[in-house]
Chain A
Amino acid sequence: MVENNPWLDAVTYTLLILVIVIVSFPIFYTLIAATLPLEDVSRIPMPLIPGNQLLVNLKAAWLKGSMGIELLNSFIMAAGITIGKISISMLTAFAIVYFDFRFRKIAFVAVFCTLMLPVEVRILPTYEITANIFGPMQNIIQLFKINTIISYLTGSRFHFSIRFSLLDSYAGLILPLTASATATFLFRQFFLTIPEELCEAAKLDGASPMKFFTRILLPLSKTNIAALVVIDFIYGWNQYLWPLLITTNPRMTTAVIGLERLIPQMDELPTWNVAMAGALLVMLPPALLVIFMQRWFIKGLVDSEK
């Protein structure tokens, strides 16, 4: 701080505390509500002193929804997206930076342009291809009337069709969200800053490209990977639209979507304490990541958006 002005400091601290109170209020309020019995949570105003029913409410939330399986599904989805995003974008960046091949530029541009195609703008067709991963092949068969041609040529009735659905599967939850322009770009930028000598030395020592990748690039990228793990895990965990569309089997639902079942409707008992306990459970994994890996989180957020 440039000058010493106790009056201004007092204002700063007061305002800051006020802002913190406002920003954290929803989470604080959730915490309190999750510890209260039903008669307290439906009192007006709801008391702001924690009760002793936290475990009871957590248990109720766990039993009312199928929280266990949903949290597991969320975890598998988030972990799959994280691992997938980081590994495929590292490999792409490695190819783009360290190899000279014909479609290098086109590949980079193609990956980069996916920034402009978030799942929200291509909802229906992405759903269709996930419902039948061989859809494009089917379209080609129809377009060239291959079935008719073969039937005509062989003189017998011929019908070929191929279907494979990824709906209600982990692959369907994970794969369409796995490509990452930002992670590819981040690794590309990082690889470009690695001294040329490292690669030359590795080549002199007779290391193969993949050996160079696993022994040198991978260890050097540790901080970048840690930062992306935090960001991508939260991204995967908090997905809403995609799992909502492609899962119909309750055993494949994710926790964020499953929470809706705990929200009391107008004609039900106002069990907001149970709903808030459920919300707490669903928020916990990404919140812990943000709190305990704060440094990586800030690095990941700032770096991956540049």
Chain B
Amino acid sequence: MLKRSSFSSRFLPYLLILPQLLIILTFFYWPAAQAFFQSFMLSDPFGVRSQFVWLYNFRHLFEDPLYWKSIGITFIFSFLTTMLSLSAGLLTAALANRVLKAKSAIRTFLIWPYAVAPAISGVLWMFIFHPTFGIISRLPMQWLGITWNPILNGNDALFLVIIASAWKQISYNFVFFIAGLQSIPKSLIEAAAIDGAGPFRRFWTISFPLLSPTLFFLMVMNVVYAFFETFGIIHTVTQGGPGGATMTMIYKVYRDGFVGLDLGSSAAQSVVLMIVIVALTLFQFKYIEKKVQYAG
């Protein structure tokens, strides 16, 4: 869209977009294109010589059971992180929305985890669940007779990174859910109350369906977060271990590219991840379009 009254200048608009354009071409499109080309090449670890190998890297990748394991872990990890942080965010928003007193204090307490870097969230939860010194792993878990060692046991490690990732995302979901709840017209809720619907009934039959666009949006954002932004948590807490139990796809790109120096495979994995994020983004836009039509 353009303003009706616009300026006319020959060079100024180009000059204005130049900084942004230079940055996206240099640091976004060129590397993305590079990743694409490299995924069809096989190079030696020093990057001196390379050879065009068609889909060899992809075939090799999808024949690798470790990659399938990593895909499975990424799905379990993303699914559980998203479910946990979404339901916690919805519960807190629904509760906070009912409250009239101390609103801003309550919000402050619920919002601050957003400011914590993923890597630091990992450190905090690592301490809480530390096999020797952690308060939760030593007290409640020991009473219940749960043996717990995230350093040696893969499931424990996965559980730990899921908790750390979900916790950090609760604030984000809370902010959006409470904004969504507040935009629901009071008259609808009141009408339902006059008809005799109790608070739980009102929530499930009115608020919750009206929140569905927010819920959908947050679902996509949480999956994106779990896929791409949890690198710091995994790097500080488990480094992909033990035995690859927390090796998500992003962490594997990093490991294979920077530690294993397998350029072709790393590039092919980057391309796979690009396809994932393009699909997620398109999925979201398609839905938003529908929503706009519905509203209009």
A272 and B133 contact, CB distance less than 8 A: yes
Q: Does B78 contact A (CB under 8 A)?
A: no
B4 and A2 contact, CB distance less than 8 A: no
Binds B, one of A107-115, A145-153, A156-164: A107-115
B172 and A5 contact, CB distance less than 8 A: no
B194 to chain A: closest residue by CB: A2
A32 to chain B: closest residue by CB: B135
Contacts of B270 in A (CB 8 A): 121-125
Contacts of A220 in B (CB 8 A): none
Choose one: B20, B32, B151; the contact of A179 (CB below 8 Å). B20
Would you list which residues of chain B between 81 and 130 have a CB under 8 Å from chain A?
88, 91-92, 95-96, 98-100, 104, 106-121, 123-128, 130
B24 and A118 contact, CB distance less than 8 A: no
Quick one: CB contact mask for B212-230 with A, threshold 8 Å, 1 for yes? 0000010001000000110
Q: Does A218 contact B (CB under 8 A)?
A: no
B23 to chain A: closest residue by CB: A179
Would you list which residues of chain B between 16 and 72 have a CB under 8 Å from chain A?
16-17, 19-21, 23-24, 26-32, 34-35, 38
Q: Does B14 contact A (CB under 8 A)?
A: yes
| A107-B117 in contact given A97-B3, A199-B3 (Cβ < 8 Å) | no
Q: Does B199 contact A (CB under 8 A)?
A: yes
Binds B, one of A42-50, A54-62, A64-72, A221-229: A42-50
Q: Does A20 contact B (CB under 8 A)?
A: yes
B115 and A244 contact, CB distance less than 8 A: no
Q: Does A76 contact B (CB under 8 A)?
A: no
A209 and B12 contact, CB distance less than 8 A: yes
Task: Give Cα A287–Cα B102 distance, bound, in whole angstroms.
Answer: 20
Contacts of B121 in A (CB 8 A): 26
A99 and B133 contact, CB distance less than 8 A: no
Contacts of B258 in A (CB 8 A): 123-124, 127, 245
Quick one: CB contact mask for A281-296 with B, threshold 8 Å, 1 for yes? 0110011011100100
Task: Give Cα A266–Cα B126 distance, bound, in whole angstroms.
Answer: 13
Interface size range on B against A: 35 or more
Task: Give Cα A175–Cα B100 distance, bound, in whole angstroms.
Answer: 45
A94 and B114 contact, CB distance less than 8 A: no
Q: How many A-B residue pairs have CB under 8 A?
A: 307
Contacts of A118 in B (CB 8 A): 228, 277
Task: Give Cα A241–Cα B85 distance, bound, in whole angstroms.
Answer: 23
Contacts of A16 in B (CB 8 A): 92, 95-96, 99, 106
B4 and A256 contact, CB distance less than 8 A: no
Choose one: B14, B120, B232; the contact of A283 (CB below 8 Å). B120
A99 and B104 contact, CB distance less than 8 A: no
Contacts of A89 in B (CB 8 A): 20
A270 to chain B: closest residue by CB: B133
Quick one: CB contact mask for A176-217 with B, threshold 8 Å, 1 for yes? 101100001000000110001001100100000110100000
Q: Does B263 contact A (CB under 8 A)?
A: yes
Interface size range on A against B: 35 or more
Q: Does B184 contact A (CB under 8 A)?
A: no
- Interface centre among B20, B38, B270, by most chain A C-beta atoms within 10 angstroms, is B20
Q: Does A63 contact B (CB under 8 A)?
A: no
A257 to chain B: closest residue by CB: B119
Would you list which residues of chain B between 241 and 279 have a CB under 8 Å from chain A?
250, 253-254, 257-258, 263, 266-267, 270, 273-274, 277-278
Choose one: B108, B189, B267; the contact of A125 (CB below 8 Å). B267
Task: Give Cα A234–Cα B267 distance, bound, in whole angstroms.
Answer: 29
Contacts of B257 in A (CB 8 A): 123-124
B7 and A256 contact, CB distance less than 8 A: no
Quick one: CB contact mask for A1-40 with B, threshold 8 Å, 1 for yes? 1110100110011011001100111110110010000000
A116 and B228 contact, CB distance less than 8 A: no
Q: Does A120 contact B (CB under 8 A)?
A: yes
Task: Give Cα A275–Cα B6 distance, bound, in whole angstroms.
Answer: 56
Q: Please, could you name 30 A-B residue pairs with CB atoms under 8 Å apart, sorted by A?
A: A13-B99, A15-B91, A15-B95, A20-B109, A23-B113, A27-B112, A27-B116, A88-B20, A89-B20, A91-B20, A94-B16, A103-B14, A110-B29, A115-B281, A123-B254, A124-B35, A124-B258, A125-B34, A129-B27, A175-B23, A179-B23, A196-B4, A200-B5, A238-B232, A260-B119, A260-B123, A263-B126, A276-B127, A287-B115, A301-B172
